[in-house]
Each structure stands twice: as C-alpha cells, then as structure tokens.
A and B are shown apart, each in its own frame.
Chain A
C-alpha cells in the first residue's frame, strides 16, 4: 500500500512514523539481548539454564518488533513525525539536572545538590524567571529538609563535611 505522503516525501520520512521507530526499537533491544546472552547456558526445559528464559523472550520480542515495524511501514509516513515537537532543552537539561544531583549529593550534601538540581533543571523550561526559580528552590529545599531529614530522620548528609 503506497500512500500519497510516501510518493511525494523522501524515503527517510517513513522513519518519523511512530510504529516504524517503535518496531526498530523493540528489535534493537531483542538483538542486543540475544547478543549479550550468546554465552549464557540454555539448559533443557527440565533444568533451565541462565539463558533459557531470556533468550526465549528475546526471540519473541524480535518477532513482535518486526510485526510492529511492518505495521508502521504499511501505514505509511504520517504528516508530522513522532518527534515533530522535539525541543532539545528539556531533553538535555532534565537528565542533566539528575546527573548534577548524582555527582554532588555524597560530597556536598543534600542541600547543595538540591539547589544544583533546580538550577540546572530550570534551563529545561520556557519563560523561566530567575527570582521565581530561586524562591521555589528555597521553599522546596526547606520542605525536603523538614520531610526527609527532620521528619523521617533519614541518614542523609545535609551539608558538606568540613
């Protein structure tokens, strides 16, 4: 089945189709799983080895991914790709804010790590106002301190050790 969109658009437009991407993703995971488990012992149905169930699942996933991919190819390219709305800032700064937290919490304590997370995370949004973000940070950090450290008494370092 060839749709109009396919006739006029370049061939790679089909890659924006969500089912094509989803199918490729599932097949990719399955292939990687099969490769990683290539040396796992399979064993028999009676005495299943480490690899029996994982490899079985990977093969099933490979077939399912293929079906999804074919469904996507048959449906043809959509007018707007799955990631048409993509904006790089949240995609980069949201994970980055968590990374900042990871790298500072143990050395600099929860308060500095939280402030850093909010500072980095704020770059992910639209129309952010620095004063507003700073006020939010103060309120949130105070709240977290009350809940986690004061209220629940969790063994978290609040400040860096001198």
Chain B
C-alpha cells in the first residue's frame, strides 16, 4: 500500500506541473468541444492531433490525448440532452431520457446529473486503474511470445464480438486491418510486401492517414450526403442547474450501478464507452420499480449511462497501459503515439517509465475535475457552439485533417492516402463494415506476426506450442468460447437486442 501512495505522489508531481496542467486543460477543452459537436468523434480528433504530440514530452502528449477521449464523454451528453442528437456515439442512450427532461424544463438538472455522475465514475475508474494496473502488468511480464500471440487473438475476437453488427464482417475487417498493417518491408526477411514497388510505401502505411481518413474524412462525405435536419435547441435558458433532493436520491444509486457496469465493460477488449452506456441503460430499465417512466424523463436513464460511458472510457486504458493491447480505436491510436515516441507499449512501461504511467493516471483525476468546471458553469458557451452549422464545421475538420496529417512527416503522400482512406471510410459506413476492428488489426498486425514467428522459433515450427502452454491455451479457449457464444441463436438475439436503441 505504501508503494501505492508513493506512486500516486509521483503521479501528481508530474501532473501538477504547469505545463502538464495546461495540456490536461487543452485536452479536456478540445474533448468537450468535439463531444458537443455532432459529426466529429474522438477517434478522428485524437488522430488529427496526434502529430502535435510529437513536439511534446510523451507524458504531456498522452495527458492531452486522454483528456480528449474522456472529455468527449462529458461533452456528448450536452448535445444529447439539449438537441436530442448524440454528440458522441456513447451518448446515444442519453438522448432518450435526457432530452425528455429538457423538454419538461429540467435541462439544468439533467446536465448537472450527467456531469456529476461522470465525475464520480471517472474518479472511481481512475482509482481502479491505479489499483489493478500494477498486478496486471506483473502478470503481463511473465508472458512469452505464445501467450502474447494468444492474448492478441483473444483481444481481437472479443473486440469483434462486443462490437455491433455482423461478426463475420467484423472479423473480415480485422483481417483487412492486419493486411494493411503488413504493407511495407518485412522486418525479418527484408522482403517488400504490397508496396507496388513504391519506395514511399516501404515504411508501411501510417496510422494517422488511415485513422483520419476512415474516421474523419469518410464521416464528412457521409454526413454531407444525408439530408441535415434542423437542430432545435431545447432549454436555451438554463435557469436551475442543481438537481433536487428527490433527483439525487434516484440518481446516485444509478450512477453507482453505471460506474460498475462501465468499469467492467471498459476493461474488456472492444468495450469502452459506447457499449457501457447501452448496457447501463438496460440495467437501469430492468432494475427500476416502474420501468414505464423510462423514455419520459427518468433521471436514472441519464445518471446510469453517463456514469457508465465515462467509467468505460477510463477503464479501457487498463489493458492498453498494462499489456499494450488496445481495446478500442482510441486506445489503438494511443499505442501508436507511444510507439512514435520510441516507447514500446507493454507491461514494462509502468516499471521503466513510472512518471509516464502515474502522471497520466493522476492527470485523469485532475481532468475529471476540470471537466465538471468547464461543463457546468460554462454550459452556455457550449450551447452557443451548437449554433455553428455543419456546412462550416466540415470545412474546419477537413482543413485540420489535411494539416494534421501533413505535419506528421511533412509528407504530401500521406495526405493523398488520407483522401483515399476517406473514400474507403465512406464505403465502409454505407456497407456497415465497422472500421474500429480494422484499426485494431492494423495496430496489432506487425506485433502479432512478430510474436507468431518467435513462438514458432521456440517450438521449432510446431503450432502445438499454443495449446501446450496453459496460459496461452486458456486465452485461446476463451476466444473460441466467445465465438461459439455469439453463434448460438439465443445469445445472438440478445446481442442484437442489446444494440438496438432501447
């Protein structure tokens, strides 16, 4: 326990320096901004701003990127409540009861409940990161190549099973990502793969153009094609912000349950904010004494999912920081950010770079506090932002995408790739091919191949090594069990139900 507190002290020592505090502030501000604005998500933003972090200390960069991710969870609820549009995908369910509350003139309490539930969940989930990361990293350090390979297989399969949509298609997207990750020079044999003889491709495809293209530009093309509905902001004048005593009594148990659901689902690969908020809404509705109140402005329907999406966002850092396994697209980008700074993601990060790890954890507590401050008293400012029409917003996203990608390597080729992946991203959206599993595959591809080769060298080319080692066998059985589970008709129906808008 003494270790724990001295680590936390190290963390605050890093996070409270003026420079890191200001990057936490910038990150949470940007996160709230893009969370409030529909039409731009946290994946695209983190990808666009990644290049900026090259010019910063690794810890400052990560603090900022993390702030964007969990800040977006706060901002997303504002739009959901006031406009009935999800600012982020993770606030889809908040629209249901949050917007009803706003229509009944209770926008203030809805916003406050969302922010306070998020704060509570964020603090708890960050504590969980601090408590559970060291033992998990210890386990990770005992892993050899076969175990790592099996863990990545499990991670990718779980990511696919927990995502919505067709599982077969999602596995296809993982494989597509793995293949894209292989483009370039093979580190082992020196052979060129899928480079079309272009030297510019021999270093491989950058993940910034891929992520910005698919998640940013592709989204713009799709948004511009759909007929835009007029946004009407309900509860323009927010007079009373504070929830009543009765509200509190209903909201806080819901926030607790939401935190539990979110923390649990956030740790799982493929989990994270969106799944957590859906699951929390279902939990609230099922456990309520009078479920008919839901959909008509039940405050639990705001508190539960909002706590869950923030807890989920925060908890998804655990596998990324301790094992180097990304559970969702933003974590995949974080892995990329670490790699670019020359930091090999994995269990050794915590021991070799304690200031990086604990500084980031401490910054999350601070960031959550900052977020409540910038979201509640300053709510009027964000409401004004909602008046910016999309026809101007997309120009800004487009320009920032181009400059962001260009600054990575001062390479025009990468901007060209971004355009190409943008068109692909639009096609993926229309064909309901989830791009997130592809990005996970893309990041894990080279690592998986390396571990596979190493495992084969250990065993002398015998694939039985994966079954003979107990840990790797257990991980592979878990992956197989997950696949069989989703194939069962009963579970399949439940899974589809869970992703329907409740």
Contacts and interface: CB of A to CB of B under 8 A. Distances in A.
Interface in B441-470: 449, 452-453, 456-457, 460-463
Contacts of B292: none
Nearest to A84: B430
Given A33-B179, A61-B172, A117 B461 contact: no
Contact of B431 (A61, A82, A128, A132): A82
A28 to B, nearest CB: 11
Given A45-B463, A90-B225, A19 B166 contact: yes
A110 B399 CA distance: 11
Given A95-B423, A101-B415, A114-B403, A45 B461 contact: yes
Contacts of A61: 172, 175-176, 179
A46 B454 CA distance: 9
Interface string A121-162: 110111110001100110011001000100010111000000
Nearest to A88: B225
Nearest to A144: B403
A108 to B, nearest CB: 12
Contacts of B461: 44-47
B391 A71 contact: no
A83 B186 contact: no
Contact of B418 (A98, A137, A141): A98
B224 A124 contact: yes
B419 A98 contact: yes
A36 B391 CA distance: 41
A57 B179 contact: yes
Given A98-B402, A128-B391, A53 B225 contact: no
Q: Classify the secondary structure of A's interface with B.
A: helix
B217 interface: yes
A36 B168 CA distance: 24
Contacts of A49: 189, 191
B432 A22 contact: yes
B169 interface: yes
B267 interface: no
Interface in B159-189: 166, 168-169, 171-172, 175-176, 178-179, 182, 186, 188-189
A79 interface: no
A57 to B, nearest CB: 5
A68 interface: yes
Nearest to A64: B172
A99 B419 CA distance: 8
B169 A22 contact: yes
A98 B415 contact: yes
Interface residues of B, number: 64
B175 A57 contact: yes
A45 B456 contact: yes
B210 to A, nearest CB: 14
A29 B179 CA distance: 10
Contacts of B369: none
Interface string A65-96: 10110010000000000110111011100110
Interface string B459-502: 01111000000000000000000000000000000000000000
Interface stretch (B37-45, B322-330, B406-414): B406-414
Contacts of A122: 395
Interface in A37-51: 37, 40-41, 43-51
Contacts of B182: 53-54, 57
B146 interface: no
A37 B432 contact: no
Contact of B392 (A44, A110, A132, A141): A132
A95 B398 CA distance: 10
Contact of B189 (A50, A90, A97): A50
A44 B460 CA distance: 10
A91 B218 CA distance: 9
A53 B460 contact: no
A105 interface: yes
B149 to A, nearest CB: 12
Contact of B169 (A40, A68, A144): A68
B206 to A, nearest CB: 15
B402 A126 contact: no
A89 B426 CA distance: 13
A71 B221 contact: no
A47 B459 CA distance: 12
Contacts of B426: 91
B175 A60 contact: yes
A103 B402 CA distance: 12
A54 B396 contact: no
Nearest to B391: A125
Interface of A: 18-19, 21-22, 25-26, 29, 33, 36-37, 40-41, 43-51, 53-54, 57-58, 60-61, 64-65, 67-68, 71, 82-83, 85-87, 89-91, 94-95, 97-99, 101-103, 105-106, 110, 114, 117-118, 121-122, 124-128, 132-133, 136-137, 140-141, 144, 148, 152, 154-156
Given A53-B452, A136-B392, 10 more contacts: A41-B191, A46-B460, A51-B191, A54-B193, A61-B175, A71-B168, A82-B430, A89-B224, A98-B416, A144-B403
24 contacts: A18-B430, A45-B462, A45-B463, A46-B457, A46-B460, A50-B193, A51-B191, A64-B171, A68-B166, A68-B168, A68-B172, A87-B224, A90-B225, A91-B423, A98-B217, A98-B416, A102-B412, A114-B403, A124-B220, A124-B221, A132-B392, A133-B395, A148-B407, A156-B410
Q: Which 10 pairs show the lowest CB-CB distances between chains A and B?
A: A46-B461, A50-B191, A90-B224, A98-B419, A95-B419, A45-B461, A64-B172, A22-B431, A102-B412, A125-B391
